A and B are shown apart, each in its own frame.
Chain A
Amino acid sequence: MLDVDQRREYWRRNVRLMSVLLVIWALVSFGAGILFVDVLNAVSIFGIPLGFWFAQQGSIIVFVLLIAFYVWRMDKLDAEFGITEYEQEVHHQ
């Protein structure tokens, strides 16, 4: 088990990671896909205007990458705090 300081540190780093990822989440969808779509549409990749690409493809791909990064960092964070046993958490009344 973690002591009080470790808990505070664990939670602080978890919240920081979440905040960064959610900012990116908002930037690719609401930002690139909607607010800045006209500006980005001036550029095209594979014939697809960039803003339109973010709205229909790019944001979805970034979403998958964001969760992948989160899962990876949380594993690392858990390892740093010496958490290796997860199966104990199976608990249903």
Chain B
Amino acid sequence: MSPIQAWTLVFVVLTFGFYIYIAYRSRVSDTAGFYVAGGGIPAPANGAAVAADWMSAASFISMAGLVAFSQNGYAGSVFLMGWTGGYVLLALLLAPYLRKFGKYTVPDFVGDRYNETARLVSVVCALVVSFVYVAGQMAGVGVVFQRFLGVDRTWGVVIGMAIVFLYAVLGGMKGITWTQVAQYSVLIVAYIIPAVAISLQLSGNPFPQIGFGQILDELDGLQRDLGLAAYTEAFTQTSMVNMVLITAALMFGTAGLPHVIVRFYTAKSVRAARYSALWALFFISLLYTIAPAVGAFSKYNVLTQIPGSAVDDTPTWFNTWRDVGLITVDDLNGNGIIDVAGAIGEGTELAINNDIVVLAAPEIAGLPAPIVGLVAAGGLAAALSTASGLLLVISSSVANDIYWKRINPRATDAQQLRVGRIAMAAAILVAGYLGINPPGFVAEVVALAFGLAAASFFPILFLGIFWKKATAAAAATGMAVGLSVTLLYQLWTLPTFFGNEPILDIPATGIGTIGMILNLITIIVVSQFTKEPSELMQKVVEDVRYPGRSELVAAHAEGHLSEYAEEHHLDDDR
């Protein structure tokens, strides 16, 4: 066993043991604890949990490479702005009000505010989005185990499943939340150390966010010399209109993702929900401002060291990743030298997988073996924390929104809890299977999940809070229009499905913005012609806007809404 493997093993065993210990300490025995941690998580901890939940294997491992390599610099900004800007929308427009509304899940809000049809549509959306997403996380766990410990990928996924099973099924949301706080700490330390080391090495500045300014000019020059567009130049790869469409789809999608929204139900109060959003974005911004710097540094390293060097005389770090197939060299013209002219990627002499940018960073910077092990533990923390958050959404959707609301409304707390745990265990098995045999379209679909969330959820949540007269029929129609336009267009253009030419050059990742606008317009128009929400519901929506616990909001949260309506002679006909 190499020192790197030994250290990786040490960190993996230590962190996994820690997660299980936390889960054991915070095990739960009631549904409120299982779904929303009893609504009693302090804001900074909740913020760290949101951040860990949000930052997946993709954010940790692939983000820097996505910005610097596959998106060629500026064009990658859509991910940076899109995946952080959504939090402003969440904090200002959704989180405080949804928290005040109470209940457990996003479909709960939709079902109460509109009607049962709308609830069902949103349960299906939540399940689809969560499953697609969780498969990617499990696959990420497998990759880390394979690369760093030399364990077979299947076994890697199985170990990951066992760990998640232990802490998520036992501890529910409470166990998951506190584990995520620990996982955030592991992943951010693992991200910052190599980034600071590389920044010091290349720019002499310990802050990568500032240090990367020193190499940008040179990087622009290097790319121009190779016949590529400059790194910082705008609109060389994505047009201005498409930059706007993709960024907006990612922003509104972020604000509509069920596994993120549900985290605000775990806050202690409306005020704590606001603070949770602040802490969450602060914690996320630490990684998201460093990622583009790491990407630029890595690209600089690659472009200064590799092009023109002999095929069999490349740096050690380069060879390690070549051995596992994440870097491929193909001497097409047979001159024994790696020629880079124009783009890097498939079909050229040099192809680099996005994932290595972060994973190889400590080796490139010549950091000692313990740091490499820490980065592996960080990648696992990122994947596991996101997976457990998604599994909770799946489990609460099944137990709360399907079993309790539709199958057995008289189920006791203990019965619901049992169904929730069984649903979670089943979801782990499915996720594990998808992680071992990832369907080819998963990577593509994950990126598209944001468009779907933007086109379906955001408008009905936003108007549900800010417009009392948005009707149930309008919400269901709007969701159907937004979802079908977006989904059909994505299927129409994706190479794995129909692969047609985009219409008006609109990318599949940006169509969500159009779908969202259509959804908004549909709701506004249809609401004019359909039956107004009941007097009672309009009053609930009104009351949710103000601070303090009104009798009505309390009655709603505790499930005594019809009694309240009778007592106050309000019409409750939905």
- The 8 Å CB contact of B269, one of A22, A70, A74, A89, is A89
**A55 and B77 in contact, given A46-B213, A47-B217 (Cβ under 8 angstroms):** yes
* Cβ distance A53 to chain B, nearest Cβ, rounded Å: 8
* Interface segment, one of B12-20, B87-95, B119-127, B164-172: B87-95
A47 touches B546 (CB 8 A): no
Are A34 and B550 neighbours in the complex by a CB distance under 8 Å?
Answer: no
What 7 A-B pairs come out closest when comparing CB atoms?
A47-B213, A55-B77, A86-B269, A91-B557, A46-B213, A93-B559, A48-B213
**Is B80 positioned at the interface, with any CB of A under 8 Å from its CB?**
yes
A21 to B309, CA, bound (A): 51
Asked if A56 and B557 sit within 8 Å, CB to CB, the answer is no
Quick one: which of B230-276 are within 8 Å of A by CB? 232-235, 240, 243-244, 247-248, 251, 268-272, 274-275
User: Cα distance A34–B248 when bound, in Å?
Assistant: 12
Contacting residues, chain B, for A91 (C-beta < 8 A): 39, 102, 549, 553-554, 557-558
Q: Given A29-B247, A81-B547, A91-B39, list of 20 further CB < 8 A pairs?
A: A2-B547, A7-B546, A11-B545, A34-B247, A52-B74, A52-B232, A56-B77, A61-B285, A63-B88, A64-B285, A67-B88, A67-B278, A74-B271, A74-B274, A83-B548, A89-B269, A90-B269, A91-B554, A92-B32, A92-B103
**B88 lies within 8 A of A33 (CB):** no
A44 cross-chain contacts in B, Cβ below 8 A: 213
In the assembled complex, which residues on chain B have CB atoms less than 8 Å from the CB atom of A61?
Answer: 285, 289
B270 lies within 8 A of A86 (CB): yes
Please tell me which one of the listed residues B80, B87, B102, B549 contacts residue A92 in the complex, with CB atoms under 8 A apart: B102
Q: Roughly how many angstroms separate A11 CA and B76 CA in the complex, as a whole number?
A: 38
Are A93 and B272 also in contact (CB < 8 A) when A30-B244, A37-B234, A49-B232 are? no
Beta-carbon contact of B85 and A63 below 8 Å = yes
How near does chain B come to A22, taking the closest CB pair, in angstroms?
A: 7
Indicate with 1 or 0, residue by residue over B195-237, a CB within 8 angstroms of chain A CB atoms: 0000000000000011011101100000000000000111100
Chain A: minimal CB distance from B456 (Å)? 22
For residue A54, give the distance in angstroms from its CB to the closest CB of chain B.
Answer: 9
B370 at the interface (CB under 8 A from A): no
Contacts of B80 in A (CB 8 A): 55-56, 59-60
Contact assessment for A67 and B289 in the assembled complex, using a CB-CB cutoff below 8 Å: no
Residue of B nearest to A21 (CB): B92
Chain A's closest residue to B74 (CB) is A52
A55 touches B81 (CB 8 A): yes
* Band of interface residues on B: 35 or more
Q: Contact at B234–A38, with CB atoms within 8 Å? A: yes
Could you list which residues of chain B lie within 8 angstroms of chain A, going by C-beta atoms? 32, 36, 38-40, 67, 73-74, 76-77, 80-81, 84-85, 87-89, 91-93, 96, 99-100, 102-104, 209-210, 212-214, 216-217, 232-235, 240, 243-244, 247-248, 251, 268-272, 274-275, 277-278, 281-282, 285, 288-289, 292, 545-550, 553-554, 557-559
A2–B85 CB distance below 8 A: no
CA distance A1 to B546 in the complex (A): 9
**A and B contact pairs by CB, cutoff 8 A, 6 listed:** A2-B546, A34-B234, A41-B234, A57-B209, A90-B269, A91-B558
A55-93 at interface with B (beta carbon < 8 Å): 55-57, 59-61, 63-64, 66-68, 70-71, 74-75, 78, 81, 83, 85-93
Q: Tell which of B87, B100, B292, B550 touches A57, judged by Cβ atoms closer than 8 Å.
A: B292
Is B285's CB under 8 angstroms from A11's CB?
no
Chain B residues in 8 Å Cβ range of A48 = 212-213, 216, 232
Which residue of chain B has its CB nearest to the CB of A11?
B545
Residues of A within 8 A of B100 (CB): 89
User: Which residues of A1-29 have CB atoms within 8 Å of chain B's CB atoms?
Assistant: 1-2, 7, 10-11, 14, 18, 21-22, 25, 29
User: Chain A interface (Cβ within 8 Å of chain B)?
Assistant: 1-2, 7, 10-11, 14, 18, 21-22, 25, 29-30, 33-35, 37-38, 41, 44-49, 51-52, 55-57, 59-61, 63-64, 66-68, 70-71, 74-75, 78, 81, 83, 85-93
Separation of A37 and B270 alpha carbons in the complex (Å)? 37
CB distance from A30 to the nearest CB of B (A): 6
Closest chain B CB from A45 CB (angstroms): 7
Looking at the complex, which one of B235, B271, B548 makes contact with A2 (CB distance below 8 Å)? B548
Do A66 and B88 have beta carbons less than 8 Å apart? yes
Determine the residue in chain B with the shortest Cβ distance to A8.
B546
Bound CA–CA A37/B233 (angstroms): 9
Task: Give A81's nearest chain B residue, CB to CB.
Answer: B547
Residues of A within 8 Å of B282, CB to CB, are 64
- In Å, the complex CA distance between A11 and B77 comes to 35
Cross-chain contact B91 with A70 (CB below 8 angstroms): yes
B548 contacts A35, C-beta separation under 8 Å: no
Contact B40 A90 (CB under 8 A): yes
The distance from the CB of A59 to the nearest CB of chain B, in whole angstroms, is 5
Task: Write out the residue numbers on chain B whose beta carbons fall within 8 Å of the beta carbon of A63.
Answer: 84-85, 87-88, 281, 285
Q: Which of A21, A56, A64 has the largest count of B CB atoms less than 10 A from its CB?
A: A56
CB distance from A14 to the nearest CB of B (A): 8
Contacts of B548 in A (CB 8 A): 1-2, 83, 85, 88
B216 proximity list for chain A (CB < 8 A): 47-49, 52
